[in-house]
């Protein structure tokens, strides 16, 4: 069981800027939406980097490079204040992730104008302390990496960027000594599950999470899908 603080680790920690307050409000709203009791199941999908794989192409030309703080406005500004609640929550979670000290981020850029059009973080075993503070992920063993917090700005959705960028970012795991890369997706998020499969990922685990009192109390359980389990090869 873990105990999570509501409203901690928000963007621009300690500042009362309008943007920071907007993100805190969005995250508090997300907490209250959990209610007194909530259950969630996520697929843990894996890709074996030792197996040959042809990365899919997006509908626009993209290039992948390390994330930089100057990418934040292009990636997240459109969803910070004026968008719907779900979009504001997506942005708030990513900004909070950055504020917690995440490193190992990569962006895909629109090669036609160098505009960031996708972001995701690649973590290795050296990041296990950070991963433990996040909660909801198993510790990484040597040879493993974790891809998390993917986000595509709304203007670039529907162009196949997620699968193309994710496949390429996963291969950066080789630089971390990784042979296997994991990522986690809610079992109801069919578009993202399909994108992960196009990027070479298939189900390996189930993550069961129970949250009480607006997410303050959390229990996590990980279930390994055995070889031969039809869910390991299911198409979403």
**Level-2 CATH architecture, domain 41-210+220-232:** 3-Layer(aba) Sandwich (3.40)
Three-state secondary structure readout of 125-142: HHHHHHHHHHCCCCCCCC
178-227 confidence digits (pLDDT tens): 999 999 999 999 999 999 999 999 999 999 998 887 667 888 999 999 99
Q: Average pLDDT of the chain? A: 86
Q: How big is the chain, counted in residues?
A: 236
Cβ atoms of residues 162 and 126 within 8 Å:
no
Better-predicted residue by pLDDT, 187 or 3 = 187
Residue 80 is predicted with a pLDDT of 55
CA dihedral 76, 81, 87, 89 (to 10 degrees): 90
Q: Is the per-residue pLDDT at 78 higher than 80?
A: no
Least confident range from 2-6, 142-146, 170-174, 211-215: namely: 2-6
User: In this model, does residue 120 exceed pLDDT 90?
Assistant: yes
What's residue 8's pLDDT?
Answer: 32
What's the pLDDT score for residue 207? 95
């Amino acid at each position: 069981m873990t105990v999570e603080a509501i409203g901690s680790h928000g963007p621009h920690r300690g500042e009362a800027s309008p943007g920071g307050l907007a993100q805190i409000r969005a995250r508090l709203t997300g907490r209250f939406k959990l209610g007194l009791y909530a259950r969630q199941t996520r697929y843990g999908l894996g890709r074996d980097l030792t197996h040959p794989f042809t990365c899919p192409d997006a509908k626009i030309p993209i290039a992948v490079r390390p994330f930089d703080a100057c990418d934040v406005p292009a990636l997240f500004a459109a969803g910070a204040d004026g968008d719907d609640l779900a979009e504001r929550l997506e942005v708030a979670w990513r900004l909070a992730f950055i504020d917690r000290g995440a490193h190992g981020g990569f962006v895909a850029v629109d090669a036609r104008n160098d505009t960031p059009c996708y972001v995701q973080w690649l973590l290795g075993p050296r990041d296990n302390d950070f991963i433990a503070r996040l909660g909801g992920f198993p510790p990484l063993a040597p040879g493993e990496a974790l891809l998390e917090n993917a986000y595509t700005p709304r203007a670039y959705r529907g162009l196949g960027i997620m699968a193309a960028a994710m496949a390429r970012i996963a291969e950066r795991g080789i630089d971390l000594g990784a042979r296997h890369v994991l990522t986690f997706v809610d079992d109801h998020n069919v578009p993202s599950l399909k994108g992960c499969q196009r990027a070479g990922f298939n189900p390996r685990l189930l993550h069961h999470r129970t949250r009480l009192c607006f997410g303050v109390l959390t229990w996590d359980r990980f279930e390994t899908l055995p070889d031969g389990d039809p869910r390991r090869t299911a198409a979403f």
